[in-house]
Structure formats: structure tokens, C-alpha cells
Structure 1
């Protein structure tokens, strides 16, 4: 249920609470008010605060959600499917952050955003280390850094935000690559992680690789642009225990057939990860392709189960 605010709320109070009217949100996000209302009424994607007179007021979190919606739409995900993605992320956040308040998560994200706006790499370094020291790996990315990254990327139409996104993207890629180097070493099992589509972004791929890594499993991350028809060659030379294809884009109708053809020539098991795995899971049920899902801890758990022969495809 939407919260209610007094119509007498002052401009200063609104500024303190960081609440914005719909026209301001439209300017900030590039989404016209008619569409914002449709996303609220028809799909329940946004739940802005209401004044007693019925005027909508949006928080920074609402604006971040709007930009996240835009990001999924750009990847080809239907607007009717976006709600389930957002809901799943919110449910996982509530479970994973039982000991932390929403205010703390917002505080971390606000500090990250402010450091990025100043192009302050030293502050980002300190924040990254602080968040890592007090939170699980999944929470560091899912609840702090990646929401800011997604929001800046979706807001690229606003002057300066593309530069801010590029700054944060470069910083995070460097830190994740460093973490991947630290977890490399002799492991009982090895997997290859490759992008399923040409639209894959390197940071998302690297984060997925880090989240799939464990004391038992090492991950070789192939770069965006990896030719899919050469994956058989890569797997022949590396002899991995499995090949994981990653995508956050809407799966095509032909995906199942393509994956079935690849399975025949790979010489190793084929798995699917990312939002594409969530959306294609029912379609691929009973096929040789296992779906790991999109959440970090779930991907890790299902990968471990699959490699142990305990996960049905």
C-alpha cells in the first residue's frame, strides 16, 4: 500500500527526504509521466509515495528502480516480465540482509554514488573494502555496488552520467579482476564461463565468475566477444568440468535448439546462468542443459549440486 504524506509537507522537508514529483522524475529518467503511471497501475513496478491530495512523490530508490526497468527493457525483456525480476531481487535482499537495515544499504549506495560523482577513486577504494569486510560477497554486489552501476548506466541520457558510469565500471572491473586473481589456484574442478550474447557486459560476466568461484571450483572467464562457434575448441583444450553460458537478456525462441546442438559437440556438460536461465528454465526442463538461475548464492549452490550429480536438468 502506498504511503500517505500531508499536503502541507514543505519543500525543505521534501528535499530532506529526497522525494521528487513525477515531472522531475520524468526529466531525470527520460520516461514520460504516462508511462510511469502505466508501470505503476498496470504492472505494479513502482509504488511512489502519495500526498493526501493524491500527488505522486518518488524517492531515489524509486528512481533507481525506474532506471533498472529501463535497463531490462533495453536487453529485450518484456515489461510484463520485469516485475518478477525486481520482486525476486527484493526478496533475496530481504533474506540476505536480515541483520542489516534498509537504511544501511541506502547509506552505502549513497556514499558510493557521491564518491562516483566526485570521481574519487580513493573513497571508492575505502568503501569497497569496508563493504567487503562486513558483508557477504553476494550482498556487496547485489545490494550496494551493482544497483548504482545499473542506475548510472540507465541514466546515460543525462549529462555527466555516462562519464560517472564509465568511472564506476572501470573501478569495479579492476577490483573484481583482482578478486578473481586471488581465488585462482589448484581446485578439484574447473568451469569455463562464457557470454551467450554479443550484448554481454564485461562487469556482469566478471561478477558472475567471482560469485561462481569457491574453494572447490575455479572459473575461467571468457571475454565478451568470444565467438560461440569456437567454444568447442576452447573446451577441447581446457577440458573443463562444465561450460556455463551467461546472459541477462531475454532468451530467443531458438535458444533451446541452439543449446541442444552445442551440447552434442562440446564434450562437457552445458549450463545456463543469469536472467536468461530464470526465464528459460521451464522451457529447458528435461533437456541436457541445466539452469543455474541468476542469484549468486543460488548459482553457486546449483553448480555445486550439478557437479556432484545431484541436480536434475
Structure 2
């Protein structure tokens, strides 16, 4: 007798490129996929569910809202996935190369215009995955083969930082959960952190971007004084991993007990496992930020209510 294979949530996350948090959120909030349960109540996914989740992951990455996709059957998702390859934001594939061609010729206004149009017209997920991330990869390739000078690389970084920061500061959102974004000493790379900040802003957080190289004790002080709901840090360079580990341990020791730490970048899993603190979580899929921010907002509502009662009394 044939027994169809079943996958637990961790294996399903690996197969689809999603996180367990995203899988649970899509199930609970949208009914996108409703898994089976074993005798102990653990989620189980079959191969058809895994295929459906792969389609959903690709389509949300192209800017389609999960709330719209969840109601579609598998055949509709397959058709939409094929159509999106041809027509959904199709002009974006050539945009990063065109922008860098403009930088190579010092046509700064043209680069800035294209970037501004992309920021103002694209969903954040599409902006990051189809414009910012490919642009950064192409910068690395062109710098390595000599087609891009150091000054031109720095122009790209400066313009990106300026424009992306303008998005984060548009709506401070005092009622939103406040999340601090920074890197620890020795980590100069910030564009990935800015991209994560955009995802967090889009998911409903009030993002306070503190930049690079902030000492752990100062970051903890800011988090305490501003009543931060969470702290997000990034560590990319493998050669910097030992220094980053020392910084993460110092941050874990300095922060107030209730403040979670989300770490992204190439060293994220290593740092989270090495520090082994319940508060520290590696964030590999930026889409999982939405669920983390929702949890922060839910956890902090009673605290605000008590403060309001105290102020009123």
C-alpha cells in the first residue's frame, strides 16, 4: 500500500525557503495551507502542500499580497506564477544593470531617478528582492572585475542609504512597536540591515535606524531609554564572526531581560547558536519579521494599558 510522504514543519520550512513562523502565520491568519496533525498535535505537510507553499513564496516575493493569494486554488497559483515570470514587474530584471551603467558613466541624476521611482512605486518585498539585492550583487561583480571604481561603489552605497532612509523616516508611527536597527563594532556593512528595516517598517514597526559600529552597552542604553520592543542587528563578514560573537554576548548581558534580539546576515545562525540565549533569534527570511513584530505588539499592549491607567490615575 502506498503511503504518501509527510513532512514536519521544520522540514517543510527547509523545502520551501519559508520559516516556521511564516508557515504558522499564513495558516492562522489566511488559511493559505492547513496542515494535517499527528497524534501529538504536530503539523504535517504532504508533497502537494509543499508545492503550494513554494508557489506562494515565489509569488509573494514578486509583490502579490498573501491575503489575495490564499484564496486561489493550486491551478490558479500555477498559472499566476507562469504569468508573473513574463509580465509581473518584468521590466525590473534589467533595471539594476541599467542603474549601474548610469553610475559607471557618472550619470548620478539618472541613477537617483530610477531608484526613486522604484521606491515610490514598488511593494517593499519587490523593491528589496528585485532591485536592491540584485543591485548589490552586481556592484560586487563589477568591482571585482574592475568595471566599477571604489568611488563609484561608494556613490551607489551613499545614494541607496539616502533614499532607503527616507522611506524609514516617512511615518514615525509612535503607536507601533519600536525596533532598533544597528550593527555592532567592526561591522561596516549596512545595506542589508537597511533592507531588513524596510521589511520591518512595511510590517508595522516603528524603525529607529542607528547605523553601524554601535557598542553593545550604548545600544542597550538606547533600547532601555526608548522602551524598544526589540533590537535587530546584522553581521555579514565571516572574518568578523569572533568579534561579532563577543559583541552579541555583551549585548545579551546588557539588555533588559524582556527585549528580544533579532540577528540577520551571513553570521546569523552561527551567532544565535553560539550565544545560546533564548532572546536571540536568527532571522534568515525577512518575511518572518512580520510575525515577530506582531508578537511584539501583542506582548506590549498590556504594558501600555497599565501605563495609561497610571497616568490617568
Q: Could you say if the C-alpha distance between residues 262 and 181 of structure 1 is closer, same or farther in structure 2, counting changes exceeding 3 Å?
A: closer
The equivalent position to 2:294 in structure 1, one of 284, 304, 307, is 304
Quote the offset at 1:225 in angstroms.
1.8
Q: Where in structure 2 are there 5+ consecutive unaligned residues?
A: 1-55, 63-80, 300-313
* Partner residue, 1:109: 96
Aligned 1:88-237 pairs, distance under 5 A: 96-97=61-62, 98=81, 100-101=84-85, 104-157=91-144, 158=146, 160-214=148-202, 216-237=204-225
**Counterparts of 1:255 and 1:160, CA distance in 2:** 29
**Counterparts of 1:286 and 1:198, CA distance in 2:** 22
Quote the offset at 1:256 in angstroms.
7.0
The normalised TM-score by structure 2 is: 0.58
**Counterparts of 1:266 and 1:190, CA distance in 2:** 15
**Counterparts of 1:292 and 1:279, CA distance in 2:** 5
Q: Could you say if the C-alpha distance between residues 92 and 131 of structure 1 is closer, same or farther in structure 2, counting changes exceeding 3 Å?
A: farther
Superimposed CA distance per residue, residues 32-70 of structure 1 (whole angstroms, 9 cap, x where no aligned partner): xxxxxxxxxxxxxxxxxxxxxxxxxxxxxxxxxxxxxxx
SS at match of 1:156: helix
**Counterparts of 2:245 and 2:235, CA distance in 1:** 14
* Partner residue, 1:59: none
Q: Could you say if the C-alpha distance between residues 257 and 173 of structure 1 is closer, same or farther in structure 2, counting changes exceeding 3 Å?
A: closer
User: 2:252 aligned with 1:263, yes or no?
Assistant: yes
Q: Could you say if the C-alpha distance between residues 253 and 223 of structure 1 is closer, same or farther in structure 2, counting changes exceeding 3 Å?
A: closer
Q: Is the 8 A contact 1:292 1:302 kept in 2?
A: no
Superimposed CA distance per residue, residues 144-195 of structure 1 (whole angstroms, 9 cap, x where no aligned partner): 1332223223543415432322221111111011111202242232121221
SS at match of 2:187: coil
**Counterparts of 2:265 and 2:243, CA distance in 1:** 17
The normalised TM-score by structure 1 is: 0.58
SS at match of 2:178: strand
**Counterparts of 2:271 and 2:59, CA distance in 1:** 24
Q: Could you say if the C-alpha distance between residues 165 and 256 of structure 1 is closer, same or farther in structure 2, counting changes exceeding 3 Å?
A: closer
**Counterparts of 1:148 and 1:110, CA distance in 2:** 7
The equivalent position to 1:238 in structure 2, one of 220, 226, 232, is 226
Q: Could you say if the C-alpha distance between residues 227 and 164 of structure 1 is closer, same or farther in structure 2, counting changes exceeding 3 Å?
A: same
What's the C-alpha RMSD, in Å, of the aligned pairs?
3.4
Q: Where in structure 1 are there 5+ consecutive unaligned residues?
A: 1-90
Q: Is the 8 A contact 1:109 1:144 kept in 2?
A: yes
Q: Is the 8 A contact 1:259 1:289 kept in 2?
A: no
